[in-house]
Amino acid sequence: QVQLVQSGVEVKKPGASLKVSCKASGDTFTIYGFSWVRQAPGQGLEWMGWISAYNGHTNYAQNFQGRVTLTTDTSTTTAYMELRSLRSDDTAVYYCARTIAASRHFDYWGQGTLVSVSS
Amino acid sequence: QSALTQPASVSGSPGQSITISCTGTSSDVGTYNLVSWYQQHPGKAPKLMIYEVSERPSGFSDRFSGSKSGNTASLTISGLQADDEADYYCCSYAGSNNWVFGGGTKLTVL
């Protein structure tokens, strides 16, 4: 069955960088895209960006442009999200979600990675 | 891209039906029949419930249904059950590989 397994809890200081991984299994990696979605404590879901695992094309939400980079490694079927210049308001749970190209929805989600940014 | 508008909370008794609205704009909900809905229980990852406005993933309960009119999409849950108590989020494709979520609705089963 399809599984997305994310890397573990991260504790960072303001100004640092973060890289979260999302290991996919159970299906052909390169026919899908992967989106990243975050959820601040007690808040709603916020879409951050999308990457095609087929050709590496990306698109980022305006709020994150210049600070986020999405990549994939097809040899290990892993998607990555790097976020730079961390601030305290980046404290959130970060999710990866497999993205279906034709119908533009997120059918499988990772378990989430808790990121805490504090001095 | 502004978030889609959802009511903060809705409630209903077991067995009843409830509807959650999701209002966007002509740039997202109004243009694309690509609205999806996600259920999130506390401390858990979101789970897909509806895609393409009204399609259910294979094997999912037909108590959940979706619709759209103009810039507003809706999720209806019939025959409410205790386990339906959760947060619900709508999401719309907004073109050029952009997506936008609603602010979320907390469903309470009385």
pLDDT one-digit tens code per residue, A48-66: 999 999 999 999 999 999 9
Nearest-CA distance from A104 to chain B in Å? 6
Contact residues on chain B for A106, CB-CB shorter than 8 A: 36, 38, 46, 48, 91
Nearest-CA distance from B38 to chain A in Å? 9
Q: Are B99 and A46 a contacting pair at CB < 8 A?
A: no
The answer to whether B32 and A104 are in contact (CB under 8 A) is yes
* Backbone dihedral angles phi then psi of residue B30, each to the nearest 5 degrees: -70, -25
**Rounded distance between C-alpha atoms, residue B50 and residue B53, angstroms:** 7
Nearest-CA distance from A5 to chain B in Å? 12
The answer to whether A36 and B96 are in contact (CB under 8 A) is no
B106 touches chain A (CB under 8 A): no
CA B6 to chain centre: 9
Q: Are B89 and A44 a contacting pair at CB < 8 A?
A: yes
**Which structure tokens are listed for B61?**
């309960």
Q: What's residue B110's pLDDT?
A: 93
Q: Are A106 and B47 a contacting pair at CB < 8 A?
A: no
**Which structure tokens are listed for A9?**
């809890």
Q: What share of chain B is helix, strand, coil (3-state, %, to 5)?
A: 5, 50, 50
* Backbone dihedral angles phi then psi of residue B60, each to the nearest 5 degrees: -80, 155
Three-state secondary structure call for residue A62: helix
**Rounded distance between C-alpha atoms, residue B96 and residue A58, angstroms:** 10
Query: Which residue matches tokens 């808040």?
Result: A43
Q: What's residue A80's pLDDT?
A: 98
pLDDT one-digit tens code per residue, A74-101: 999 999 999 999 999 999 999 999 999 8
**A113-117 and A10-12 strand pairing:** parallel
Query: Which residue matches tokens 């999401």?
Result: B91
**Which structure tokens are listed for A1?**
């069955």
**Residue B18, strand partner residues:** B77
pLDDT one-digit tens code per residue, A22-43: 999 998 899 999 999 999 999 9
CA B11 to chain centre: 15
**B86-93 and A45-52 strand pairing:** unpaired
pLDDT one-digit tens code per residue, B25-53: 999 999 999 999 999 999 999 999 999 99
B88 touches chain A (CB under 8 A): no
Residue of chain B nearest A113, judged by CA positions: B45
**Rounded distance between C-alpha atoms, residue B73 and residue A64, angstroms:** 27
Cβ-Cβ pairs closer than 8 A, A with B, add up to 65
Q: Of the candidates A47, A103, A108, which has its C-beta nearest B99's C-beta?
A: A47
Share of chain A above pLDDT 70, in %: 100
Evaluate if residue B1 carries a pLDDT over 90: no
Q: Are A45 and B91 a contacting pair at CB < 8 A?
A: yes
